Each structure stands twice: as C-alpha cells, then as structure tokens.
Amino acid sequence: MVQAYVLVEVDPGRAGEVNAAIAGAPGVLSCAVVTGPYDVVVHVSGDDVDSLSRAVESFVRSVDGVTRTITCPIFHL
C-alpha cells in the first residue's frame, strides 16, 4: 500500500466546500481544512503508485474550486 499527503490550494472562501467534496472519495483516509499556505490537507492511499495517482487526479484535482495540489508520498523508514 502507498500513502501520501496532498496539499491543496483552493479558491478563496471555498475550503469547507472542497473539503466536504473530497472527504468521502475512494482512497481518501482523512481530509482537513488547515491554515497556512495550503487550505486543505488530504491523506490518501492506493494499492500502488498508479492507483494513488489516479485517486488524486480523479477525486482531488477534479473538484471544482481546487486550484493547485502538491502530492507528498509517505515513506516509512
């Protein structure tokens, strides 16, 4: 299993709406509105890198109001 945190920037005033849209999506383990340079942080998982990438593309980047994402893979050392 592969996991990542996705840092999401959204249109002003839409963080709650975007968070709600992403929260129930397949592969999303958790989702939270945060303060700072990003508006929402999403914890996602997939069976492999390809399925993780598809989840981010399909269920995070495609949400109306999302302007930019950065995917940060998690490494367990």
Q: What is the mean pLDDT of residues 27-38?
A: 96
- Alpha-carbon span 65 to 27, nearest angstrom: 20
Per cent of the chain over pLDDT 70 is 100
Confidence of residue 14 (pLDDT cuts 50, 70, 90): very high
pLDDT digits (tens, 9 = 90+) for 35-59: 999 999 999 999 999 988 888 888 8
Q: Are 65 and 18 spatial neighbours (Cβ–Cβ below 8 Å)?
A: yes
